[in-house]
């Protein structure tokens, strides 16, 4: 790492004319390629331009738009100038966008053309395109701001599944520690070609992009996720390393008929994280990318990305395991019936500095440096960790705890099932009961009763879905995870439409 500043996480002097970013476009013309030297100059030009306009170190600058070279340059340039980069989701409703702008105290917002009308009133608006963007650029030498220890460099907003999104304050140090650990863990990665399609307002995309740049690798940057474009890009640019949310690759696998002729032989590594992973999906992804090593990743915005890794004694990592705790981090399972299952707690240099303007909520999850994740995990005899479910997702069925992810894993082992999502729904005698949304494989004649019978025969009776609905695709939230909130609402609406017959 040549600077403590997160915006200076790559060595432009070393990589120079090598391609840092590829933007495929529509495949009808030559892809747009940006070298490390070009990216570095543009980052500096944005930092200089922001300071020339009167913004100062510590100011918070928003980013609202799809992935692009200009977005990456602005993100890095903001931090190089000593300001705080605040990427936030353009998929949120207007009142929530306005809340974020107020809560963060944004002085300005970089935005792409499609988001011009979504920008909240108040902050200055800076286009990420055309003459407005060019007018900001001030090319020339620039001395990057060197941050103080634990100085905040970026703020990411949580998805807001239980209320308004919370701003997570992240220091340069916390993210640099993760990048440096990744470099030690994986070694030289400069010969790899990554692909990033997750949104840059999410930790999965920001850490993947910075990790690739820090390693001197090339990143194929898609503006957003589209399963067919993603698949075509892998073949066209001979992508070697996929980083994704599991639901993204589930959607790619669903398009098997249309992508069957594509050549994925270049792919050697697939990392899936940020959402629960099932063996059924691992098998589908392995079939798509037979030469690839597949790993299940875990991380949180508050506690940091990838706190797990290989076993120190070389024990083979089970497919569904998150890995073994990384050196330099303290990890405990608490609030469970024993030491090997419970809520995941972590303490280490990757943790957040707190929630913005929310000292009480910060105190509720941070104590003595320990972050309470709210994720339930278990540990096996070799010390490998496994994700069980979100404490918030668990619901009680007649006195028994049900973890949606466990029911989903079971359903996805059925012949003819592609994907499943389980949510709680009202029940006359149990209060709540599982309601399953299922995506079937093409040609499947699966019935609702068949799903119920299978789960009764192969799992605990209290956890079987009382209702099953077949849908074309699992709807995704802004972070490309299943939108459980939306599906919970759909389940309740379906029961109401049926006269709320919840006795089955």
On whether the CB atoms of residues 308 and 271 are closer than 8 A, the answer is no
Enter the CATH code of domain 299-390: 2.30.38.10
Task: Find, among 417, 424, 456, 459, the residue nearest to 440 by Cα.
Answer: 417
* pLDDT attached to residue 1: 52
* pLDDT attached to residue 503: 43
- The single-letter DSSP state of residue 315 is P
Tell me how far CA of residue 87 lies from CA of 144, 153, 197, 375, in angstroms. Answer: 20, 12, 15, 25
Task: Find, among 441, 439, 433, the residue nearest to 415 by Cα.
Answer: 441
CA pair distance 173, 188, nearest whole angstrom: 22
Task: Find, among 208, 366, 219, 357, the residue nearest to 297 by Cα.
Answer: 208
Domain range annotation of the chain = 6-10+18-224, 299-390, 395-497
* Three-state SS at 466: coil
> Which band of pLDDT confidence, cut at 50, 70 and 90, is reported for residue 209?
very high
Instruction: Name the residue with tokens 């004319």.
Output: 17
* pLDDT attached to residue 160: 53
* Three-state SS at 307: coil
Residue-wise pLDDT tens digits, 72-114: 999 999 999 999 999 999 988 899 999 999 999 999 999 999 9
DSSP string, 222-282: -SS--HHHHHHHHHHTT--EEEE-HHHHHHHHHTHHHHTT---TT--EEEE-SS---HHHH
- Contact partners, residue 87, CB within 8 Å, separation at least 6: 62, 63, 64, 75, 154, 156, 200, 201, 206
Q: Given a cut of 60, is residue 386 above it in pLDDT?
A: yes
Fold classified for 395-497: GMP Synthetase; Chain A, domain 3 (3.30.300)
Residue-wise pLDDT tens digits, 311-364: 999 999 998 999 999 999 999 999 988 889 999 999 999 999 999 999 999 999
The beta-strand segments (E) located in 2-59 are: 19-23, 32-35
Residue-wise pLDDT tens digits, 437-451: 999 998 899 999 999
On whether the CB atoms of residues 410 and 348 are closer than 8 A, the answer is no
CA pair distance 389, 400, nearest whole angstrom: 15
CA pair distance 56, 81, nearest whole angstrom: 8
Is domain 6-10+18-224 in CATH 3.40.50.12780, yes or no? yes
On whether the CB atoms of residues 348 and 328 are closer than 8 A, the answer is yes
pTM score: 0.84
């Amino acid at each position: 790492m040549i600077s403590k500043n997160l915006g200076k996480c790559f060595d432009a002097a070393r990589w120079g004319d090598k391609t840092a970013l590829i933007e495929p476009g529509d495949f009808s013309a030559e892809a747009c390629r940006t070298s490390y030297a070009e990216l570095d100059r543009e980052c500096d030009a944005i930092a200089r331009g922001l300071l020339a306009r009167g913004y100062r170190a510590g100011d918070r600058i928003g980013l609202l738009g799809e992935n692009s070279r200009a977005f990456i340059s602005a993100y890095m340039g903001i931090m190089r100038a000593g300001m705080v980069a605040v990427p936030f989701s353009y998929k949120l409703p207007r009142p929530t966008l306005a809340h974020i702008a107020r809560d963060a105290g944004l002085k300005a917002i970089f935005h792409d053309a499609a988001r011009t009308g979504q920008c909240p009133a108040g902050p200055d608006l800076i286009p990420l395109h055309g003459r407005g963007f060019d007018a900001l650029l001030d090319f020339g030498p620039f001395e990057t701001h060197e941050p103080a220890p634990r100085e905040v460099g970026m703020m990411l907003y949580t998805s807001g599944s239980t209320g308004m999104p919370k701003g997570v304050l992240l220091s340069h140090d916390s993210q640099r520690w993760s990048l440096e650990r990744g470099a030690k863990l994986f070694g030289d990665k400069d010969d790899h070609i990554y692909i990033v399609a997750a949104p840059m307002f999410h930790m999965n995309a920001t850490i993947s992009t910075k990790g690739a740049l820090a390693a001197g690798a090339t990143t194929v940057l898609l503006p957003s996720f589209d399963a067919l474009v993603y698949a075509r890009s892998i073949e066209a640019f001979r992508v070697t390393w996929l980083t994704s949310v599991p639901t993204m690759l589930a959607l790619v696998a669903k398009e098997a008929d249309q992508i069957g002729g594509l050549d994925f032989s270049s792919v050697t590594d697939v990392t899936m994280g940020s959402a629960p992973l099932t063996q059924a999906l691992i098998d589908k992804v392995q079939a798509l990318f037979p030469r690839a090593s597949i790993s299940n990743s875990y991380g949180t915005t508050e506690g940091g990305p990838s706190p797990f890794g290989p076993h120190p004694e070389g024990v083979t990592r089970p497919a569904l395991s998150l890995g073994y705790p990384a050196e330099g981090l303290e990890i405990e399972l608490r609030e469970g019936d024993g030491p090997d299952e419970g809520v995941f707690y972590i303490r280490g240099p990757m943790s957040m500095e707190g929630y913005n303007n929310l000292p009480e909520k910060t105190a509720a999850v941070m104590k003595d440096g320990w972050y309470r994740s709210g994720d339930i995990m278990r540990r096996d005899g070799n010390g490998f960790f496994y994700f069980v479910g979100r404490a918030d997702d668990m619901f009680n069925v007649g006195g028994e705890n049900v973890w949606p992810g466990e029911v989903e894993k079971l359903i996805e082992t059925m012949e003819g099932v592609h994907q499943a999502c389980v949510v709680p729904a009202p029940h006359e005698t149990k209060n709540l009961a599982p309601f399953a949304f299922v995506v079937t494989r093409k040609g499947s004649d699966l019935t609702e009763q068949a799903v119920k019978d299978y789960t009764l025969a192969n799992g605990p009776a209290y956890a079987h879905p009382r209702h099953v609905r077949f849908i074309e695709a699992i709807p995704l939230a802004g972070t490309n995870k299943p939108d459980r909130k939306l599906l919970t609402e759909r389940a309740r609406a379906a029961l109401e439409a049926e006269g709320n017959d919840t006795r089955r």
